Amino acid sequence: MTVTPASTTLQVASEVKLAAAGTYSDGVTRDATTSVTWTSSSPRVAIVNGVGGVMARAAGTTTITATSGGVSASATVTVTSSTVNYLHTFGVEPTDGNSPNGPLLLASDGNFYGTTRSGGGNRCLDFDNFCGTLFRLTPGGAYTVMHRFGGFPADGEQPGGPLIQGSDGALYGVTIVGGAHGFGTVFRIALDGTYAVLHSFGATSAAGKLPLGRLVQAIDGNIYGTTLSGGGGAHCPDSDVECGTAFRLSPNGEHVVLHAFGSVPGDGASPSALIQAGDGSFYGTTASGGNLSCRPTPQTSGCGTIFRMTAAGAVTILHSFGSYQGDAILPAGPLIPGGDGAYYGTTYGGGGGACPGITPGCGTVFRITPAGTMTIFYTFSRPTNDGTTSYANGYNPMPYLLRGRDGNFYGVTEAGGPFETTRGGTVFRITPSGIRTTLYAFGPFGDNPTIPFGGLIEGADGALYGVTQDSDRSEAWGTIFRLVP
């Protein structure tokens, strides 16, 4: 008997198909791949199915053996992975934050800044929870909580996304709830820790409620963002839920609603973060609305949209997701320029893959031109060598896709990987030609951190930085990690 290839090297979460051949008593050599028994000497490193399909799980070396009738042959499989260091574990100290938002911000002082949705020690209106924190991490790993959110009515609670750095050097962000009216805030914090609430949402429903996602400072110097609810759009697909707003906020805190989503039939609902194009217009996505014949869950109407908005608030729908079988659905987060004149983003579901979650499809990376031509750039989940479904490359990609300095796209999946179906997650790279590589797989749950959240940033050192929701300790909530691709 022989096994081919006799030796191979794989990256974590990739696969190889081995073949077995046997020379029988009649002197004829025949394929025996499906009739032998396959085993792995180290299933933690790689596992093998009944037809010779090998799945890489963790760095190391294993021997894959094919056996039949007391005769056996083996192949050596070496698995390599990127190097990951965990720079901080949240929740170890009583007043530390937990449940971090991603991506982090690399500020002008060379430090990383971020927020956590919970922790900090200050009780919120939800008395079973804490209000969240804003933290700083130096490149050397020194961690400091700069602000502990205090909740209603003086402060916001539960930061709702990543930070930006304004032209004045200060950091800006949002809280989902809290503030003077209980429906969220925009805040400003200087690098020395001086903190102020710039605007409280919810004075009226039409003014917007529940801001979420990353803000953007436009070329006019104003801050732009979105709210999940409020606005009062007359054509919101769910009559008991308001569709959200896009807003402008001046440096002195003057707030203007630019667009109430659900204003016209087919409009999007629940918008996420904006980006500004060179011509001054804004691009963004909505998580629902659009094509109402697409219903990813019984509670959701429409599978989301991509829109363009002028600085005056005029919105054009460029694409309604779920418009055909296998289309991407449920976009989240901002688009990013792809270097080719088009924009790229992620969807949590759709694409035609079969995954164990409640959402149809495993998610995609999509590409859209300014003229509105949308194509699926990459689909998560695909058939394995034996025709079954593989989750090893991850699924349900998170928002905030990154285009690295090398021109490749980087991101994380919330689930999948070779260790866990639902509580694992991966870091991936996709080339401009659409070739995906899994750089790291999180897990197993309970032994190592899992569930990367939000996106990645690229440090000055060329490494990738991100956060996870779980750590390797049952009493701690999340980590900050550094990965060398």
Distance CA 40, CA 32 (A): 17
Peptide bond into 356 cis (omega under 30): no
pLDDT digits (tens, 9 = 90+) for 52-75: 989 888 889 999 999 999 999 999
Which tens digits make up the pLDDT trace of 277-302? Answer: 999 999 999 999 999 888 877 667 88
pLDDT confidence tier of residue 339, bands split at 50, 70 and 90: very high
340 pLDDT tier (thresholds 50, 70, 90):
very high
Ramachandran region of residue 215, left (φ > 0), alpha (ψ -120 to 50) or beta? Answer: beta
Q: What is the pLDDT of residue 239?
A: 56
Which residue matches tokens 């009559």?
239
Q: How does pLDDT run across 211-226, given as a tens digit for each residue?
A: 999 999 999 999 999 9
SS (H, E, C) the chain: CEEECCEEEEECCCEEECEEEEECCCCCEEECCCCCEEEECCCCCEEECCCCEEEECCCEEEEEEEEECCEEEEEEEEEECCEEEEEEECCCCCCCEEEECCCCEECCCCCEEEEEEEECCCECCCCCCECCEEEEECCCCCEEEEEECCCCCCCEEEECCCCEECCCCCEEEEEEEECCCCECEEEEECCCCCEEEEEECCCCHHHCEEECCCCEECCCCCEEEEEEECCCCCCCCCCCCCCCEEEEECCCCCEEEEEECCCCCCCEEEECCCEECCCCCEEEEEEEECCCCCCCCCCCCCCCEEEEECCCCCEEEEEECCCCCCCEEEEEEEEEECCCCCEEEEEEEECCCCCCCCCCECCEEEEECCCCCEEEEEECCEECCCCCEECCCCEEECCCCEECCCCCEEEEEEECCCCCCCCCCEEEEECCCCCEEEEEECCCECCECEEEEEEEEECCCCCEEEEEEECCCCCCCCEEEEEEC
Which pLDDT band holds residue 240 (cuts at 50, 70, 90)?
low
Instruction: Please give the pLDDT value at position 292.
Output: 87
pTM across the whole model: 0.90
